[in-house]
Amino acid sequence: MGRDGLTITMDQDTCDITSMLWNDFELQYSAKNTHVNSGLGTVTSSIKTLDDSTIQITCTITGLEQTYLFRPNENAIYMGTYHTTDLDLAELRFLARLDRTTINNGMSSASEIDGMSAIESTDIYADGVTASKFYSAIPFIEDQVHGVTGDAGGVYFIMSDNAYEKSVGGPFFRDINNQCTTANELTFYMFSDHTRTEDYRYGFHGPYALVFTDGTAPSTSDVDFDFFQDLDLTGFTSETERGSVSGSIIDSNDVLGSSGVVVSFSNDDAQYWVSVDSNATMFTSPLMRPAVVTGGSTTTQTLEVTYELESSPIWRIGEWDGASDGFLNAANIHTMHPSDSRLETWVESLTFAPGKDDDNTFPWRCSVLAADVAASQRTVTGLQRCSRPWLFQRGITRGVTLGNYKHYEYSIPSSALVTGTNTIELSVASGSTDSSEEWLSASVVFDAIELV
């Protein structure tokens, strides 16, 4: 099936895409196909033409239904994925395998592993500098469009407003988007065990679209997902069944200052978020499933910031912003392995003098035996290898610092203090045996540390 330069060929027995011919260029990698996960195996498939000439292909196995939709005069593949507990999967993704002779460029050099050797498991590579598919990840809240290009044009995923509602991890979670090996692999990860912090949500993932361009990055307005409202897709929730929440933010203690914020909504069924500009106080949520809010209604809610930020600490390292920005090598957390030769040199132990030393010399991670600083409270954003509270799987070496945030407060008795210089050692405790690999020991990631 095809129109206006795009011709798609699919295998009826597996629903794999076996050819993507775009303006006479073959974009499909020849050795492997494009499909859900690494292929669904033998499926039950059907094809029909809708009243508006949209072609709908439905592919079903026990526990999963994948829908492909082809619209007249659009160079796009619209999709939705319905997954139930009848099919146990370690991850759920749509994987487009593209030919590197026609689509050669990765999303960035951080995900191009040509000529490199694996240095950790089989997914992080180096030849002095490091690269990995994990370093292509973008926070969900920023990831509405991502894609790759080459001499033949560009191939991009575009997400609908509800594409992430059944994913996990919230607005700042990130997952693999791209890897350049023998094929240029472009993915939409709906779920994985990659540093996941909560249980999987089953149901309808999407809608989402795979879009073909001349190489120019499309915008979300270049596709229109509204026609899904008229389809009877398994698990899909229409706008008329949804509700929303509107309200205001009260910040009497000026904790937020001039910062923008994100208001998020979630339960076991779904997750949503909305950005609120700096100095703004009003918000309206996306349209949400009835399991989150009463369908067909708008609920009013006031959010009050009750935390009282210490305005005059004795000293503070970092900022209370939920991130490690400003610390040593923090600017490259998400796109480089800690062993990358481009990073500033790590030290096995650090003597840091708050108020004298710059924050950019303080490491964003702690897996060393001691850091000679004094502190009474700290927040950690991500944790690895059963350091408490712990994340599932590797995180720090995969470019992930997001976790189940934990704020620690410690009281320092006066009897422990002396006149002059005082030293407190920060270390990491774990119930697991540390890995023999250098960067996989128990670790925490810092947000800020202060003495009050």
- Give me the number of domains the chain comprises: 3
Q: How far apart, in whole angstroms, are the C-alpha atoms of residue 43 and residue 48?
A: 16
Q: Please state the rounded mean pLDDT for residues 210-214.
A: 98
Please report the pLDDT score of residue 164 as a whole number: 98
Look at 377 and 244; give whichever has higher pLDDT.
Answer: 244
Residue 143 belongs to domain spanning: 2-236
Residue type, 71: R
Look at 54 and 294; give whichever has higher pLDDT.
Answer: 54
Residue 394: pLDDT band (50, 70, 90) is: low
Whether residues 125 and 257 share a domain: the answer is no
User: Could you write out the three-class secondary structure of the chain?
Assistant: CEECCEEEEECCCCCCEEEEEECCEECECCCCCEEECCCCCCCEEEEEECCCCCEEEEEEECCEEEEEEECCCCCEEEEEEEECCCCCCCCEEEEEEEECCCCCECCCHHHECCCCEEEECCCEEECCCEEEHHHHCCCHHHCCEEEEEECCEEEEEEECCCCCCCCCCCCCCCCCCEEECCEEEEEEEEECCCCCCCCCCCEEEEEEEEEEECCCCCCHHHCCHHHHHHCCCCCCCCHHHCEEEEEEEECCCCCCCCCCEEEEEECCCCEEEEEECCCCCEEECCCECCCCCCCCCEEEEEEECCCCCCCCCCEEEECCCCCCCCCECHHHCCCCCCCCCCCCCCCCCEECCCCCCCHHHCECEECCCCEEECCCEEEEEEEECCECCCCCCCCHHHCCCCCCCEEEECCCCHHHCCCCCCCEECCCCECCCCCCCCCCCCEEEEEEEEEC
Look at 342 and 119; give whichever has higher pLDDT.
Answer: 342
Lowest mean pLDDT among 205-219, 340-354, 356-370: 356-370
**Residue for token pair 């979630």:** 266
Residue 270: pLDDT band (50, 70, 90) is: very high
Last residue of a domain, one of 200, 219, 236: 236
Percentage of the chain modeled with pLDDT above 90: 56
Q: 63-78 pLDDT, tens per residue?
A: 999 999 999 999 999 9
Whether residues 263 and 369 share a domain: the answer is no
Last residue of a domain, one of 236, 260, 285: 236
CATH code (residue 192): 2.70.98.10
Please report the pLDDT score of residue 141 as a whole number: 97
Tokens representing residue 277 in the block: 């500009």
CATH code (residue 405): 2.60.120.260
Please report the pLDDT score of residue 433 as a whole number: 62
Q: From the CA atom positions of the chain, what is the Rg in Å?
A: 24
Whether residues 376 and 403 share a domain: the answer is yes
Q: 135-191 pLDDT, tens per residue?
A: 899 999 999 999 999 999 999 999 999 999 999 999 999 999 999 999 999 999 999
Look at 297 and 20; give whichever has higher pLDDT.
Answer: 20
Please report the pLDDT score of residue 421 as a whole number: 87
Please report the pLDDT score of residue 137 as a whole number: 92
Please report the pLDDT score of residue 407 as a whole number: 83
Whether residues 290 and 195 share a domain: the answer is no
List beta partners, residue 81: 66, 205
Kind of pairing between the strands at 244-250 and 298-304 = parallel
Whether residues 257 and 325 share a domain: the answer is no
Please report the pLDDT score of residue 435 as a whole number: 56
All residues at 6 or more sequence positions from 239 whose CB lies less than 8 Å from its CB, including other chains: 229, 287
Residue 254: pLDDT band (50, 70, 90) is: confident
Please report the pLDDT score of residue 66 as a whole number: 99
Whether residues 248 and 342 share a domain: the answer is no
357 pLDDT exceeds 60?
yes
Whether residues 286 and 248 share a domain: the answer is yes
Residue 98: pLDDT band (50, 70, 90) is: very high
Neighbours of 279 (CB within 10 A): 10
Whether residues 261 and 319 share a domain: the answer is no
39 pLDDT exceeds 90?
yes
Please report the pLDDT score of residue 297 as a whole number: 87
Q: Please state the rounded mean pLDDT for residues 21-35.
A: 98
Give the Cα-Cα-Cα angle 18, 144, 53 (nearest 5 degrees): 50
244 pLDDT exceeds 60?
yes
Whether residues 346 and 278 share a domain: the answer is no
Whether residues 11 and 101 share a domain: the answer is yes
Whether residues 231 and 256 share a domain: the answer is no
Residue 103: pLDDT band (50, 70, 90) is: very high
Contact 135, 336 (CB under 8 A): yes
Last residue of a domain, one of 218, 236, 254: 236
Neighbours of 186 (CB within 10 A): 27
CATH code (residue 276): 2.60.40.1120
Whether residues 290 and 152 share a domain: the answer is no
